[in-house]
Amino acid sequence: MTPLSRRPAGPTTHIHTGPTIPAWTLHAALAVAIVGAVCSAAAGTSLETSSLVVLVLGLLAAVGHAAWRPSTIPAVAALAATGLACIVVTPTSEGWRVPVIILCVHALVRLSWFTASSRPGGRIEVEVLRHEGRTFLVLGLAGQAVGLLAVVLTALEADGALGRSGALGIAGAVALLGLAALLLLPRSRTA
């Protein structure tokens, strides 16, 4: 009998499922997606490095707070920051930025659902992520295709061959993609 001994950790209830991963890995992935989206959107701006560091640290703090009390606040803040940076920055010939921003923005929106739905101490079955991954991949590839089109149209705009109708062309392409998806994909609505 040791006086003032430490209490051993309490036992844990167990749910027998398939392979799982800890939910904190998705919180970490959300942080990476946020930093990736903001940094790639802000690349080439006249924003000072110190301001960018403060912005990124603020977003990471929001992610940390969301880990403690799950919410979509980090995602909203990151989307606002990314959008502002995209509007402020004049499009350049750096073609790498658009695919990265598309990937990061899409990832942070999807990851924010997982992080808002589960605490870092929880676990997520791999099968859930596998099913989610398929939808993510399809939508992401569609986004990348449109992004490639955007890069091409931007280059044409820069040459003066397209005028200002590039964005409208993209919008038309998106509408066509959406229409095709709605026609091809089966509905799950039941009577």
Among positions 73-92, residues that touch other proteins (CB under 8 A) are 75-76, 79, 83, 86-87, 91
* 94 DSSP 8-state letter: -
Closer to other proteins by Cβ: residue 53 or 158 = 158
Q: How far from 51 is each of 60, 162, 184, CA to CA, in Å?
A: 14, 36, 46
Q: Which of residues 16-75 bind other proteins (CB under 8 A)?
A: 16-18, 20, 23, 72, 75
Indicate which single residue of 10, 93, 159, 184 sits in contact with other proteins (rule: CB under 8 A). Answer: 10
151 Rama sector, left if φ>0, alpha if ψ -120 to 50, beta otherwise? alpha
| Residue 15 within binding range of other proteins, rule CB under 8 A | yes
Longest dimension (CA), the chain: 86
Q: Which is nearer to other proteins, 23 or 55 (CB)?
A: 23
- 10 half-sphere exposure, CB direction, 13 A CA radius: 3
181 binds other proteins (CB under 8 A): yes
